[in-house]
Amino acid sequence: MKLIRINKGSLLQDIDLYLLIVRWSAILASAIIYIISKPGNKILVPPFIILLILISINLPISIFIWRKLPYKSGRIIWILILDIIQGSISVFLTGGYDSLFFVMYLLAIAEAGICLNWNLAAGWIISIDGVQILSTTLHWAATGNTVSSYALVGRFLRLIIVGLIVIMLGELLRREEINRNKAIISAANLKTLNTIFTEFESTDFNNSQIFEILLKSLECIENVDYSFVIFRNDILKDTWEIHATSKPQLYPIGFKFYNLINYKYESFIFRKTRDDININKTFFNPNIVEVIGINLSDYNEKNKGLLIIGKNSLTELIDDEDFFLKALALEAQLVLHNTYIFQEKQNQIKQLAEFKEMQTTFFSAAGHEIKTPLTILKTLLSTLRITIKEPTEVQNEIFNTLESNVARLDNLTTDILETAKLETSELVLNIKDIDLLKIIDKQIEAMLPIAERKNQQITVKLPENFQNSNKLIITGDSKRISQIISNLLSNALKFSKQDSPIDIEISLIKNFMQICIFDNAPVLSEEEEKKIFDKYYTSSNDKALSGFGLGLFIVKKLVDLHNGKIWVQKRSGGKGFCFNLPLKSEGYYENT
């Protein structure tokens, strides 16, 4: 199994068929011109005879082209010469400048421009143009049929222009074919890589099997004399040891290298020759002219590894070789990385437990350290307000701004600490029977000042058959459910318009109590609905209102902890957030 080399001489796969069509189109065009036009008086051989001769000559030529495909292989010189000879003789015998077989020169120009490189094609086209002038001149000398120099120069220039157009077309076709070949080759090489990656997956975290597959896969690379994997086993002495090798008789397992520390600072893949100064000469035996080194793993300093490849030839690199090596090494890195993780699993479990204990201590200390300055600031602001008995309008504005921003920072700090607790699973719910209606009433009372400033009215719609003497009893954490309702109600008041109603609807659905808080704020798009509960996501265009994007994230996490669900609910004239919570097991409401 080898990497595929690009066939740089190949053009379009069906180029021979296309140029066969062009060949017979030229002959057909000559026949049509012969039928619809009257031959001149200055001809040496009747055009009909020349036409029959051309057909008889081009039939075997066409059969040969069909079978051998010379255009595709680029071996067209003798065909090109033959077509120039055909055209020149035909033009000379059938009218010179006015010959109807002039199109045979166009066939030769098309062949040269499409099948040859642009510099070679340009030389051939100029030669073809010169030959057609020579044929015309010879006919003139033989028959006395004069042609003006202006006409000859004009035809010469026209053919040059046609030739340039054909050359550009040929170059475009050539580049398109090369790009197509590269795409095919890349796909084939990726298939090879996928096969190797599949073998990696079957190693079951066994280092020896991983190294064996890695070294075997290097058989795809040409001119590889040896390959081996080395890992650092002594950081202080910079000692590297071979863990796997393709030539144990030359570089056995356990063989050590010293002073390779410079390779720590090399790029992901590097190539060195015998003349390079910063290369360990032990890598070179008499057959080796180039050494390729690939960084295998930086899982930690101890497990830093290199894949060393010795090549016995400096032949031109096949395309995508570097890509192949990098992809192979990256996959090997991933497999080795997972292997190291698997081998250290027990140790990591212990470290994780210690880390979680430290994390809990850190959040507790961080909460205290952050909250204490905020509490002092709030106290100082209150004291300052009392001290200034009759504050001016500007002072009042300053006080309000400071209090608003301190409160906002306090809420933000609380959200950040709550998010950390939720993500580390440190938050524990205090589950008990609670009165949902009492919680809602308290939150409405707390939000009334905000609602009054915007002239907003909050209404509560209770379940059917509910009496004022009843309590809505559910199972949950009173503090966290208060937090959920407070956040959703605060958002509704904040983002809805002036003088708009806020509706809280409570309904009983199977074993859950469903609470919806509706407002007339702009409806969310489908994309926003998918992201609205993501951490740090904000949908409001007013960044001053949108906050830090943690509120709804926390709400969803708290609802999830209660084994409930939360979603966006649309309705006429606005939207709402609905969530459900489990009911009290023995009944969802009770009489006082």
Domain boundaries, the chain: 15-179, 207-341, 346-423, 432-591
Q: Cα(323)–Cα(290) distance, rounded to whole angstroms?
A: 18
Give me the CATH topology for the region 207-341.
Beta-Lactamase (3.30.450)
Assigned CATH for 346-423: 1.10.287
The phi and psi torsions of 513 (rounded to 5 degrees) equal: -95, 120
Parallel, antiparallel or unpaired: strands 501-509 and 457-461? parallel
Q: Cα(29)–Cα(283) distance, rounded to whole angstroms?
A: 68
Count CB neighbours of 155 within 10 A: 18
DSSP secondary structure letters along 490-531? HHHHHHSPTT-EEEEEEEEETTEEEEEEEE-SPPPPHHHHHH
CATH class of residue range 432-591: alpha beta
**pLDDT tens for each residue of the chain, 592 residues long:** 555 554 444 445 678 888 888 888 888 888 887 777 766 656 788 888 888 888 888 898 888 888 888 877 767 888 888 888 888 888 888 877 778 788 888 888 888 888 888 888 888 889 888 888 888 888 777 777 676 777 778 888 888 898 899 889 888 887 887 777 777 777 777 777 788 888 877 777 777 888 888 888 887 777 888 999 888 877 666 788 898 999 998 889 989 888 775 555 556 677 888 877 777 778 888 888 888 888 876 555 555 788 888 888 876 555 567 778 888 878 887 887 777 777 777 676 777 777 766 765 665 566 667 777 877 887 887 787 788 877 788 887 887 788 777 777 777 777 777 776 776 676 788 888 888 889 999 999 988 888 888 899 999 988 876 655 467 788 899 999 999 999 999 888 888 888 889 999 998 888 888 999 998 888 888 888 888 888 778 775 555 556 677 889 889 999 999 989 999 998 887 889 999 988 764 444 454 4
